[in-house]
Structure 1
Amino acid sequence: MSQLSLSLSSSDAASLLVRDVAGSYRPAEPAEVLQAALRVLAGQLRGSAMLSSPQVVRDFLRIKLGGLEHEVFAVIHLDAQHRVIEYVEMFRGTVCQTSVYPREIVKEALARNAAAMILVHNHPSGSAEPSRADEALTQRLKEALAMVDVRVVDHLIVAGPTVLSFAERGLL
């Protein structure tokens, strides 16, 4: 297992180094830097008392889903105070669609004793605009989850660096 460290070179330019189990250092690969950033953001997401910072959620999702070439539908399970219980990638699709099964979403929410959730998916096309299918799915999931007293707080669409919020758009 390697460990990411920050080191200053003689020219005072910051460079990221990875230390392996033997204690040797080497320059970090871009994928290792992204993984380290994801761990930090995931820790902030889980460690926050409440989702008082939508920016932390957006940053996490941009890194997690923004660069994928296929669609992923995920959920962020929340407790009654909107603290993060867990981020779960539920379904994987193709470049332009993914199948989402409300029954499975409800089962996962009940298994984690979630009181609320944020729905998330990406658009590899680069356009964050929700389709009619996205809007219809959101309503179906909202209704299915309401049957078991789980509130849908938002549905976010990640398209590269852009994150669109259904709640901010008045689509919830």
Structure 2
Amino acid sequence: MAITDWHENDRPREKLLNFGPEHLSDAELLAIFLRVGVQGKSAVELAQDLLDHFGSLHQLLNADETEFCEAKGLGQAKFVQLQAVLEISRRHFESGLTKGDALTDPENVARLLQHHIGQQARETFGLVLLDQQHHFIAFVPLFTGTLNQASVHAREVIQTVLDHQAAAVILAHNHPSGDPTPSQADLDLTQRLKQALDMIDVRCLDHIILGDHGRWTSLAQQGHL
């Protein structure tokens, strides 16, 4: 049955307009993005097939161009559209931060970081740079790969802070394994960088570790800072 033959409250577009996007499933939201299905399948059915193929909406959104374009019902045009949507979302979120309140809530920091490193397949370390009032300046990724005392250089962290004239910083990295629990190496690295930043009178406010499915850990909340 075509979507046009469904009851109005069951059609994704009408459902979104009548009840809001939060009431739609992942498949329904994806169907609106796809706009049309394929022969024998509605857009919603195709969307569900794609979610099953990739494993989750998260995995679909993070697929590289080759993997994305090889899936039935997708292609380069859809890949370009999706990348544009994701970038618009990131810029919209960052615009609100630069004009809004101080960025001190770990949950808001974690949301920001999801746009930058939450989707990375490799461990990535970066800095959330803040001004004197703790307003957002920029996020700068610095290191990729296994993070330890040797791989993350304090001098590059300090140089980045000085280049942006930041007054405070939040350390951040992801755990591709999905578990945001800090390792001893994470704790040791945090203390070493905090000590280095203290020497130039820059506050290290937190270290956020991202996992999967929106999970994250704040070392400040755990009492490590």
TM-score by length of 2: 0.62
The gaps in structure 2 that reach 5 residues or longer are: 1-10, 17-31, 35-76
> CA offsets, 1:1-54, max 9 Å, x none?
xxxxxxxx995255359xxxxxxxx87844333222111112122222412554
Amino acid at match of 1:106: I
Which moved further from structure 2: 44-53 or 106-115?
44-53
Question: What's 2:194 paired with?
Answer: 142
- Of 11, 14, 37, 1:12 maps to 14
The 3-state SS of whatever aligns with 1:137 is helix
Q: Deviations over 1:100-126 (max 9, x none)?
A: 111100111112111110000000000
The 10-residue stretch of structure 1 (74-83 or 37-46) with the greater mean CA deviation from structure 2:
37-46
**1:58 positional shift:** 1.8
Q: Structure 1 residue 84: deviation in Å? A: 1.2
String of CA shifts for 1:115-146, please: whole Å, max 9, x gaps: 11000000000010111110000000000010
- Which runs of 5 or more residues in structure 1 are unaligned? 1-8, 18-25
**Pair 1:106-2:158 in alignment:** yes
User: Conserved in 1, the CA contact under 8 Å of 2:106 and 2:218?
Assistant: no
The answer to whether the Cα contact below 8 Å between 1:62 and 1:162 also exists between their aligned partners in 2 is no
Note the 1:24-103 alignment, pairs <5 A. 29-51=81-103, 53-93=105-145, 96-97=146-147, 99-103=151-155
| SS of residue paired to 2:165 | coil
* Equivalent pair of 1:72/1:89 in contact (CA under 8 Å): yes
- Say what the alpha-carbon RMSD is for the aligned residues: 2.5
Name whichever structure is richer in strand by fraction.
Answer: 1
Equivalent of residue 220 in structure 2, options 142, 167, 170: 167
Conserved 8 A contact 1:41-1:56: no
Compare the two structures and name the one with the higher helix fraction.
2
Q: Find the aligned partners of 1:138 and 1:52 in 2 and give their Cα distance.
A: 18
Q: Deviations over 1:57-115 (max 9, x none)?
A: 2212123222211011010111111111111111111xx54621111001111121111
Residue 22 of structure 1: aligned partner: none
Alpha-carbon distance in 1 for matches of 2:104, 2:129: 15
Q: State the distance in 1 between where 2:12 and 2:114 align.
A: 33
Q: Which amino acid aligns with 2:182?
A: P
Question: How far apart, CA to CA, are the structure 1 residues paired with 2:86 and 2:166?
Answer: 29
SS at match of 1:12: helix
Distance 2:155 2:139 in 1: 18
Larger Rg: 2
Aligned to 1:126, which of 178, 183, 202?
Answer: 178
TM-score using structure 1 length: 0.79
Percent of residue pairs bearing the same amino acid type = 38
Counterpart residue number, 2:42: none
